[in-house]
Structure 1
Amino acid sequence: MESLFAILGFGFLLGIKHALEPDHVVAVSTIVGKNKSPWHSGFLGVFWGIGHTLTLIFIFLVLHFTQTSISGTWEKTFELGVGIMLVYLGVSTFFPAKNHTPKKSGNTAGNLFFKSMFIGQIHGLAGSAAMTLLVVSMVDSLQGALLYIGTFGTGTILGMLLFTFVLSIPFLFAVNKNRINFFLTKATAILSIGYGLYYIYMVGFIDGLFT
């Protein structure tokens, strides 16, 4: 029992650390500035974590019941999807979709929450191969595996909740300062594009997906 608690504690701390990996941070940063409330921004992190965790659980169950594994090529392809998504998130900030139909603020916030969940799902898909190997090496039962992934997911949710809450503070002070808000928004977009291109290069050429 003590060893199980130790494993779950390790998973929880690993989940917090995992939430703060550069590609996760950059992706969520592109939409945090669109929310004017730190609490709403914090919930963006929660939805990211939920999407990330649900994908990990789904992929693990599929692999478990089919007795298969994710090939190296597919693993790199999923990682490539993260890079493409980062570039898209950055570019879309410069070219926002035009909609002449008035939207209520609640609908806009809801769209951001689901967008954050989708981003989390893409990251979860990309990290599913590594998570599967980690879970198999840590526990030897389906119940234990799901418990570990759930604890890991709780850590990612908490880590991203705290990060998005803190990240929103500079944007909050810049609400009525158009130039500062413009700079912060575009800076995160440029960072997302740059890191996304770097990510694509690393996966495609250094890790060998394209070669």
Structure 2
Amino acid sequence: MEDNILNVVALGMMFGVIHAFDVDHIMAMATFSDQQSKRKHILTYAFKWGLGHGGILLCLGLLLAFIGYKLPSWFTYYAEMLVGVLLIYLGAKLLLLLHKKDIFSFKQPPNKQLKPNTHDHAPLFIGMLHGVAGSAPLLALLPNMLETQFLLHISIFSLGCLFGMFCFGLVFGSYQVHIKHVGANLANRLTQLLGLSSIGLGTFWVLM
């Protein structure tokens, strides 16, 4: 019994960390966080994403385990479609912000910067959307597990996702700090590439 619990914990953590680095997760958070130049803001965004992703999965797991309620397949399908639309929106918004920043730099002194919104909860909702969109394979494990093992697996999986995204935030935050010091032109070109990549991935996600 103890070996089974340990296996559930180990597998849940491993799969959770790996799942956090899914391309749609990384692209969404990178695109959303790109305009931030401080590591702590990016880490906050990553943490909120992890809370949203893990929180919605745990809620869905509790509903399935104790009430037997499962989201209809059409709902998860459209949630996945919405992920693609979100990627297109975030990419387009990033390019628009970059364009506005270029115009702004001609009209204002270069040391004047817009303050980040410290109460932005968008990453929380982005994480929740990703959690709903990818919930089907995880919730399908219930028939093969005891209820306690199932809920433990989801909890550890969610912690693994949070840890994985937090690690990504740490790396991406360090990259942002470094790029901003290298030069504004390089940072702008990489931002353009990120925005276009997000739009491309989102378009592929919707059409596939």
The two structures have a TM-score, normalised by structure 2, of 0.84
Aligned to 1:179: 185
SS at match of 1:110: coil
Q: Cα distance 1:168–1:30, how it changes in 2: closer, same or farther (>3 A)?
A: same
Identify which of 120, 124, 142 aligns with 2:127. 120
Q: Kindly report which structure 2 residues correspond to 1:48-197, keeping only aligned pairs within 5 A, or say none.
A: 48-96=49-97, 105=115, 108-111=117-120, 114-134=121-141, 136-141=142-147, 143-176=148-181, 177-197=183-203
The 3-state SS of whatever aligns with 2:119 is helix
Q: Offset of 1:68 from its aligned partner?
A: 3.4
Give the counterpart letter for 1:110 in structure 2: H
Query: Which structure 2 segments of 5+ residues have no match?
Result: 101-112
Task: Tell me whether 30-39 or 118-127 shows the greater mean CA deviation.
Answer: 30-39
Partner letter of residue 170 of structure 1?
A: Y
Give the Cα–Cα distance (whole angstroms) in 2 for the partners of residues 36 and 123 of structure 1.
25
Identity across matched positions, percent: 27
Q: Displacement of 1:167 after TM fit?
A: 1.9
CA 1:2/1:56 → structure 2, altered by over 3 Å: closer, same or farther?
Answer: same
Q: Deviations over 1:151-193 (max 9, x none)?
A: 1111011111111211223321222522112112221111111
Tell me, yes or no, if the aligned pair for 2:179 and 2:187 is still in contact at 8 Å: yes
Shift in Å, 1:200: 0.4
Q: 4+ runs of 1 displaced by more than 6 Å?
A: none
- C-alpha separation between the residues in 2 aligned to 1:14 and 1:116? 21
Give the superposition deviation at 1:31.
Answer: 2.1
Which segment drifts farther, 171-180 or 85-94? 171-180
- CA distance in 1: counterparts of 2:143 and 2:174, whole angstroms: 40
**Rounded Cα–Cα distance in structure 1 between residues aligned with 2:174 and 2:193:** 16
Contact 1:56 1:125 in 2 (8 A): yes
Tell me if structure 2 keeps the 8 A contact 1:171–1:184. Answer: no
Q: Which runs of 5+ in 1 are unaligned?
A: 203-211
Is this contact kept in 1: 2:8–2:149, CA < 8 A?
no
TM-score (norm 1): 0.82
Output the amino acid matched with 2:189: F
Shift of 1:2: 1.6
Distance 1:197 1:36 in 2: 28
Would you say the 8 A contact 2:8–2:152 is kept in 1? no
Please tell me whether the aligned partners of residues 39 and 174 of structure 2 are also in contact (alpha carbons under 8 angstroms): yes
Asked if structure 2 preserves the Cα contact closer than 8 Å seen for 1:30 and 1:89, the reply is: yes
Cα distance in 1 between the residues matched to 2:132 and 2:154: 14
